[in-house]
Amino acid sequence: MNIEGQVAFVSGGGSGLGEATAKHLAAAGCKVGVMDINGEAAENVANTIEGSWASCDVSSSKSTEEAFSKLSSSIGMPRIMVACAGVATGAKLVTKESTATPLEKFSKVIEINLIGTINCMRLAAAEMTKLEPLVEGERGVMIGTASVAAFEGQIGQCGYSASKGGIASMTLTLARELARDGIRVNAIAPGLMNTPMTSGLPDPVRESLISSTLYPKRLGESDEYANLVQHICENLFINGSVIRFDGALRLAPK
Ligand X SMILES: NC(=O)c1ccc[n+]([C@@H]2O[C@H](COP(=O)([O-])OP(=O)(O)OC[C@H]3O[C@@H](n4cnc5c(N)ncnc54)[C@H](O)[C@@H]3O)[C@@H](O)[C@H]2O)c1
Which of 59, 161, 230, 239 forms a contact with ligand X (CB under 6 A)? 59
Rounded to an integer, what distance in angstroms lies between the CA atom of residue 95 and that of residue 87? 21
Is 41 a binder of ligand X (CB under 6 A)? Answer: yes
- 32 three-state secondary structure: strand
Q: Which stretch binds ligand X (CB under 6 A): 10-18, 94-102, 169-177, 178-186?
A: 10-18
* Residue 137 and residue 4 in contact, taking contact as beta carbons nearer than 8 Å: no
Rounded to an integer, what distance in angstroms lies between the CA atom of residue 54 and that of residue 127? 17
**Catalytic option among 68, 106, 160, 245:** 160
- Within 146-165, which residues bind ligand X (CB under 6 A)? 147
In the complex, the smallest distance separating the C-beta of residue 180 from ligand X, rounded to whole angstroms, is 29
Rounded to an integer, what distance in angstroms lies between the CA atom of residue 125 and that of residue 181? 9
- Within 217-246, which residues bind ligand X (CB under 6 A)? none
Strand runs (DSSP E) across 97-199, as ranges?
140-145, 183-190
Is 192 a binder of ligand X (CB under 6 A)? Answer: yes
Is residue 160 part of the annotated active site? The answer reads yes
* Residue 22 and residue 93 in contact, taking contact as beta carbons nearer than 8 Å: no
In the complex, the smallest distance separating the C-beta of residue 229 from ligand X, rounded to whole angstroms, is 12
In the complex, the smallest distance separating the C-beta of residue 160 from ligand X, rounded to whole angstroms, is 7
Is 195 a binder of ligand X (CB under 6 A)? Answer: yes
Is 44 a binder of ligand X (CB under 6 A)? Answer: no
Q: 43-47 long-range CB contacts below 8 Å, 24 or more apart?
A: 44/14, 45/13, 45/14, 45/19, 46/13, 46/22
Footprint on this chain of ligand X (rule: CB under 6 A): 11-12, 14-18, 36-38, 41, 56-59, 84-88, 112-113, 116, 145, 147, 190, 192-193, 195-198
